[in-house]
Structure formats: structure tokens, C-alpha cells
Amino acid sequence: MATARELLAKLRARLSGRPDTEHEQALVRLVVGGLIVLYLLPGAVAQGLQPTLFVMLGYLAVAVFVFAHILVAPGESPMRRVIGASADLGTLTWVMAFLGERSAPLFLVYVWVTLANGFRFGQRYLLMALGL
């Protein structure tokens, strides 16, 4: 059986040949989504399951799907990019609407996600993210 180090080396080799940095964005999505779920989990356990936790678990499921799809089909995929940006901005919108005033600082994440799409994938994706 392969060790974790060998699996990581195979994963790196698989992703190193990619023509863009979509896999990096997918990893950021997984890490940030996972951290937010871990942050929300204690409150959900203490206060009963909160809708925000369900939304974030759905977001994390989309993030896992996008990353898995990159591993299976490592070429460029406009649809995968749109799904990722839609998940990022749609989830952010829901969280901000649900949490209200407390989430005002998250507005900066809109700027970050929009610019990241433009810098990573070009003007078309910048405009698409602005439209979302």
C-alpha cells in the first residue's frame, strides 16, 4: 500500500502538468470551506443545526467535486470554472444575507473572488464573476 508521501507525490505530479492554476483555486476553496465548517460546527452542535452549516457543507461538497473533477479530467474546463465561481459567490451571498450586518466585512471576499477569477483565468472570467 502506498504511503501518504507517495500519494502526495503522485498528486503533485498529476497537477504539475496542468495548463493553468485552477487546481490551486480548488485547493484554496477546500481549505477555506473546511475551516469555515470547523468554525461553525461547535455552534451548530451547541445550538442545534444551523442553516449556515448546511449551506457550508453543500459548498464543501461542491469544492470536493470540483477538485476531484480536476484530478480525473485535468485539462481546462470552462464549466468547472463557472461552477466554482458560482459556488464561491453564491455561498458568500447566502451567508451575508443570512448573517446580516455581522457579515459586512465579508464584502471584501467578493472583491477577492472576482479579482482572483480575472487574474487566474482572464477577462472573460472576471466579467463573469462581476455578473454573478
Asked whether residue 1 carries a pLDDT value surpassing 70, the answer given is no
**Mean pLDDT value of segment 125-129:** 89
Better-predicted residue by pLDDT, 21 or 65 = 65
- Label each residue of the chain as H, E or C: CCCHHHHHHHHHHHHHCCCCCHHHHHHHHHHHHHHHHHHHHHHHHHHCCCHHHHHHHHHHHHHHHHHHHHHHCCCCCHHHHHHHHHHHHHHHHHHHHHHHHHHHHHHHHHHHHHHHHHHHHCHHHHHHHHHC
pLDDT in tens, 9-40: 887 777 777 777 888 889 899 998 888 888 77
Cβ–Cβ < 8 Å for 121, 20: yes
pLDDT at 48: 67
pLDDT in tens, 82-111: 999 999 999 989 988 887 787 788 888 889
| Domain range list for the chain | 18-131
